[in-house]
């Protein structure tokens, strides 16, 4: 049992308390679970906008003349090919190809990258990167505790962030492409504004110095209020990312899982080459190369619940609702979908039962509840 009094407090802790948030212990941090209602916060993000505190995420800066090639050797992606001002979703794996964490890497300058890691994995990623950077002319700096991260997510996000941005920077912020980032002055504060998120909506993530976070938070709340923005907690974040079919480390991803198992083989760049066109080795490459063309033993699928009871993390997936049906998989995440009005779940199942339309069942606390395999994501925002 973790001791909640030992949790790290977000630089926005006082704001959360003032807003009456229910706080929860998450990955060694005390973070807001919800402010009012999970459903209201979820719906606000789908229809207007939500403001999230993500200060528990880790920010690891990798700098130096060989920062890009060091990351090529350390991660599965081809980061030296990333354009300045762009971001990429990637992973760090162990030598067996098992996922240590999923990451977003930003290239802020030719010799400066920021690796954003999940709160629960910051130490693992930092230690692995430090080791893998040995021999490269590159330095690692853990900026996690001095960096705050705030996200504005939802269809009104662009208007809200633009209205809080210094006029000289507004055009650059509005013109940001998905998975791109630009420095901008927001609410009078220096921020890195990225068009990224974890909700399936348009949105922005703003990195600022921890000391500036409360002023930024209050300014965004004020700028967003006329647009329907509400503060949103980790509970809404989880239901939003589930509807959007996005993996959560510890649920869909862990060190026993390869990117291929999770249907994310596209992030593995076995073809990445150096300046001379020679193949670039990276940690886990040999193991992953052996898996690339073979059918994985299990496949990550979406399940639509046909009843009202939701499957949850760890529940067994059954071949049918009949008594004695074979165990064909395990649920990784599940919840009632507020947007769709029925339960949804992600699960690892055997390949034979992974085709969309396949009727299966989930053992929901002793009762077989019917489900149907459906394509991921469950929810795609209207464009």
Residues lying near another protein in the complex (CB under 8 A)? 22, 33-34, 37-39, 42, 235, 238-239, 308-310, 312, 335-336, 338, 365
Q: Compare residues 263 and 307 and give the one whose CB is closer to another protein.
A: 307
| Minimum CB–partner distance for residue 198 and another protein (Å) | 17
Q: Compare residues 263 and 336 and give the one whose CB is closer to another protein.
A: 336
Q: Compare residues 39 and 222 and give the one whose CB is closer to another protein.
A: 39
Contact 191, 108 (CB under 8 A): no
| Minimum CB–partner distance for residue 8 and another protein (Å) | 23
- Which run of H or of E encompasses 16? helix 13-18
Residue 221 structure tokens: 């709340």
Number of residues assigned to the chain: 383
| Minimum CB–partner distance for residue 33 and another protein (Å) | 8
Q: Compare residues 77 and 338 and give the one whose CB is closer to another protein.
A: 338
| Minimum CB–partner distance for residue 38 and another protein (Å) | 4
Strand order in the sheet with 58-63: 87-93, 99-109, 112-117, 58-63, 139-142
Determine if the peptide bond prior to 377 is cis (ω within 30°): yes
CA distance 196 to 176: 10
Q: Compare residues 196 and 239 and give the one whose CB is closer to another protein.
A: 239
Between the two ends of the chain, the Cα-to-Cα distance in Å is 44
Shortest CA distance to 88 belongs to which of 287, 266, 281? 266
Q: Compare residues 108 and 242 and give the one whose CB is closer to another protein.
A: 242
Q: Compare residues 34 and 88 and give the one whose CB is closer to another protein.
A: 34
Sign for the pseudo-dihedral over CA of 237, 339, 331, 366 = positive
| Minimum CB–partner distance for residue 308 and another protein (Å) | 5
| Minimum CB–partner distance for residue 322 and another protein (Å) | 21
Sign for the pseudo-dihedral over CA of 161, 163, 165, 167 = positive
Measured in whole angstroms, the distance separating CA 176 from the mean position of its chain's CA atoms is 19
Q: Compare residues 61 and 238 and give the one whose CB is closer to another protein.
A: 238
- Which run of H or of E encompasses 74? helix 67-74
Q: Compare residues 34 and 126 and give the one whose CB is closer to another protein.
A: 34
CA distance 133 to 62: 9
CA distance 144 to 209: 10
CB under 8 Å to 15, separation ≥6 — which residues? 53, 214, 217, 218
| Minimum CB–partner distance for residue 232 and another protein (Å) | 13
| Minimum CB–partner distance for residue 151 and another protein (Å) | 20
CA distance 66 to 133: 9
| Minimum CB–partner distance for residue 122 and another protein (Å) | 25
């Amino acid at each position: 049992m973790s001791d909640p009094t030992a949790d790290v407090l977000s630089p926005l802790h006082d704001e959360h308390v003032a807003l009456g948030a229910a706080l929860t212990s998450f990955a060694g941090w005390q973070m807001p679970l919800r402010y009012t209602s999970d459903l209201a916060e979820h719906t606000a993000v789908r229809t207007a906008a939500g403001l999230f505190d993500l200060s528990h995420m880790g920010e690891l800066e990798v700098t130096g003349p060989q920062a890009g090639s060091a990351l090529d050797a350390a991660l599965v992606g081809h980061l030296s090919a990333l354009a300045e001002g762009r971001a990429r979703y990637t992973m760090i794996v162990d030598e067996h190809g098992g996922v240590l964490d999923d990451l977003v890497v930003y290239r802020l300058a030719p010799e400066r990258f920021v690796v954003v890691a999940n709160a629960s994995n910051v130490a693992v990623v930092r230690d692995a990167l430090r080791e893998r950077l040995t021999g490269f002319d590159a330095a690692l700096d853990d900026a996690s505790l001095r960096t705050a991260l705030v996200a504005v997510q939802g269809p009104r996000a662009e208007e809200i962030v633009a209205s809080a941005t210094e006029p000289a920077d507004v055009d650059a912020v509005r013109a940001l492409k998905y998975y791109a980032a630009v420095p901008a002055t927001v609410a009078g504060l220096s921020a890195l504004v990225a068009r990224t998120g974890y909700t399936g909506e348009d949105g922005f993530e703003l990195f600022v110095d921890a000391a500036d976070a409360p002023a930024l938070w209050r300014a965004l709340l004020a700028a967003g209020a006329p647009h329907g923005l509400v503060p949103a907690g980790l509970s809404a974040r989880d239901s939003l990312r589930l509807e959007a079919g996005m993996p959560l480390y510890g649920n869909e991803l862990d060190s026993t899982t390869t990117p291929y198992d999770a249907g994310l083989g596209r992030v593995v760049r076995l073809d990445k080459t150096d300046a001379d066109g020679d193949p670039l080795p990276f940690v886990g490459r040999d193991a992953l190369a052996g898996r690339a063309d073979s059918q994985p033993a299990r496949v990550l699928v979406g399940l639509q619940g046909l009843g009202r009871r939701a499957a949850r993390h760890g529940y067994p997936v059954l071949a049918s609702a009949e008594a004695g049906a074979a165990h064909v998989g395990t649920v990784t995440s599940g919840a009632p979908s507020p947007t769709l009005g029925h339960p949804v779940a992600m699960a690892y199942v055997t390949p034979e039962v992974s085709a969309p339309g396949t009727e299966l069942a989930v053992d929901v606390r002793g009762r077989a509840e019917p489900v149907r395999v459906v394509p991921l994501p469950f929810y795609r925002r209207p464009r």
